[in-house]
Amino acid sequence: MQELLPEFSIKFEDGNNPLDELFSQDRETWLEVGFGGGEHLAAQAIKNPDVTLIGAEPFVNGVAKTLSLIDQDNIENIRIHFGDARPLIEALPDESISKIFVLHPDPWPKRRHHKRRMINSWFTEEAARILKNNGEARIASDIPDYIQWTLMHFQNSSEFQWRAKEMNDWKVRPDDWPQTRYEIKALRDGRRPTYLSFERLARL
């Protein structure tokens, strides 16, 4: 945390926006919201060296594990926002992101806590703003209620289209979607994950 985080961290301070330099590069940028232990983030970075991946995570253990993966595999194309993803998302430029990942987010199962869920009308509006035309939002969960909640919010948005054409599209994890520890735990506990993919419709 002391040695590597400053090198890979995105920090908003002194009125400077570190994203200005990041998006001056001619390369795709992907965003993972709540990357946990960083397995998916690191795997995508290794498989896609020409893409910059931004990860947001508020918990120190997850950030530390991800930094260990960065160090272990000499990964250079990851940038980390250590904290709540919302300020980062709001600071991202319009049409700057090609893919967004929200994998196994906290479901906040009690009804009175639903307002804390990451997927909500604010998120779909911001995702529609920052995604490029035909950009993709991927959401995974092993909680059926959260899947229904996610589908409701994305289908309430006129700017997204659910990509599923057949049952396997949401029941089978795509080959380019690395597994996370949360998915492994869900399968071990007998819960079957659902994989959702939404396309940002082209602007008129």
Active site positions, annotated: 106
Residues 6+ apart with CB under 8 A from 86: none
CA 17 vs. chain centroid, Å, equals 21
Structure tokens at 169: 């599209």
The Cα-based distances of 99 to 5, 95, 108, 138 in angstroms read: 23, 11, 24, 8
Dihedral angle, C-alpha 142, 84, 58, 162, nearest 10 °: 20
**Matching residue, tokens 């992907």:** 30
Q: What is the Cα–Cα distance from 121 to 115, expressed in whole angstroms?
A: 10
Say which residue the tokens 């009175």 belong to.
112
DSSP label at residue 35: -
3-state SS string over 45-98? HHHCCCCEEEEEECCHHHHHHHHHHHHHCCCCCEEEEECCHHHHHHHCCCCCEE
